[in-house]
Amino acid sequence: MSARKVEIYTKWGCPYCTAAKALLDGKGVSFTEYDITMGGAKRDEMRARVPGAVTVPQVLIDDVACGGYDDIAALDRQGRLDPLLGL
């Protein structure tokens, strides 16, 4: 198992952000969280890295945008998330 770099952009109080983090936690995956509640440089960074992203969470695995909670949950149901995470 090789560790992948997992990053997630979130906002405070976002239920989808909480669900995405819980899904990753449940798989024992370490991730770096960027809170963009107040906007600023990290929000600008998210928009640059994920063009067209207007909602959170935004999950990136090894710098590849994988979408939000619904997207990673769908990948998980299809059995495609674990390989992306190196599990």
CATH code of the domain containing 44: 3.40.30.10
Q: Is residue 68 part of a domain?
A: yes
The per-residue pLDDT for 2 is 59
Q: Is residue 57 part of a domain?
A: yes
Q: Is residue 10 part of a domain?
A: yes
> Is beta strand 6-10 parallel, antiparallel or unpaired with respect to 32-35?
parallel
Domain residue limits at 22: 6-85
d(C-alpha 36, C-alpha 60), whole Å: 15
Residue by residue, DSSP assigns 44-80 as HHHHHHSTT--SS-EEEETTEEEESHHHHHHHHHTT-
pTM: 0.94
d(C-alpha 2, C-alpha 44), whole Å: 30
Report pLDDT digits (tens) over 4-62.
999 999 999 999 999 999 999 999 999 999 999 999 999 999 999 999 999 999 999 99
Quick one: tokens of 83? 């390989």
Determine the 3-state secondary structure of 29 from DSSP.
Answer: coil
How many domains, in total, are found in the chain? 1
Q: Is residue 1 part of a domain?
A: no
